[in-house]
Amino acid sequence: MKNAVGRDYGPVAKTLHWLSVLFVALAWALGTFGEELSEGSTRATGLIAHVWTGLIVLLLVAVRIPWRVANPPPKSSPTEFGKWLIEWTDPAARTMHYVLYVLLAAVPLVGIAFLFARGHSLSLFGFLEIPSPWSADRALARKLKEVHEVLGNLLVILALFHMMAALLHHWVFGDNTLKRMLLHFRSRNAH
């Protein structure tokens, strides 16, 4: 069923969105600043946390994409700037969402390939180990690490741009683009 104009995203879509934001930020911070951790067990724990956080992002996008296909987002709300704004921003927003989804999947997948290229196995949250399907290749590992870092930084930059666009809609265009993605918590005393 298509959502009506101006309605909020559903609670599942909102939860998946904000969990993705949280885990992308955490994975990026661990990946970016993990080298700053003292060598030894602290750095190793930071790397494991980075990998597991990336796996959570991959799981979230594996749920988000089918959910979005089955539950299309609500149509854009009219703004005080009129129809021409929606005609321009809708395709741009749709394209941005597709690019973000691709990056949400690509960054962890390239990270997994990087681990395998180093000859390391992939730990699935400590329950299962997937051994590297190929032997260590330092040159390939270096290239994959670079691609992983570039894509991770691009994901964060585009996510920040996405956030700024939502704020622009809220403060300048005066529509409810931002509000319809915010989580709403009911108090216990609410009827």
pLDDT at 4: 42
| 3, part of any domain | no
Paired with 128 in beta bridges are 124
Confidence of residue 5 (pLDDT cuts 50, 70, 90): very low
Q: pLDDT for 118-159, tens place per residue?
A: 999 999 998 999 999 999 999 999 999 999 999 999 999 999
Domain count within the chain: 1
Confidence of residue 89 (pLDDT cuts 50, 70, 90): low
Q: What are the phi and psi torsion angles at 133 (to 5°)?
A: -75, -10
Residue 78 confidence class, pLDDT cut points 50, 70, 90: low
Torsion of CA 118, 119, 125, 129, to 10 degrees: 170
Any idea what DSSP says for residue 129? Answer: E
**Rounded Cα gap, residues 148 and 17, in angstroms:** 22
- Domain span at 97: 11-181
Number of H helices, E strands in the chain: 4, 2
CB atoms within 10 A of CB 171: 9
What is the rounded average pLDDT of the residues 35-62?
Answer: 91
Q: Is residue 6 part of a domain?
A: no
- Tell me, yes or no, whether 191 lies in a domain: no
In a domain, 2, yes or no: no
In angstroms, the CA 14 to CA 39 distance is: 38
Residue that wins the pLDDT comparison between 191 and 21: 21
pLDDT, mean over the chain: 85
Give the CATH number of the domain where residue 76 resides.
Answer: 1.20.950.20
Using 50, 70 and 90 to split pLDDT, how confident is the model at 190? very low
**Mean pLDDT throughout 150-173?**
88
Q: What is the pLDDT at residue 77? A: 65
User: Does residue 187 sit within a domain?
Assistant: no
Q: How far apart are CA 89 and CA 163, in angstroms?
A: 14
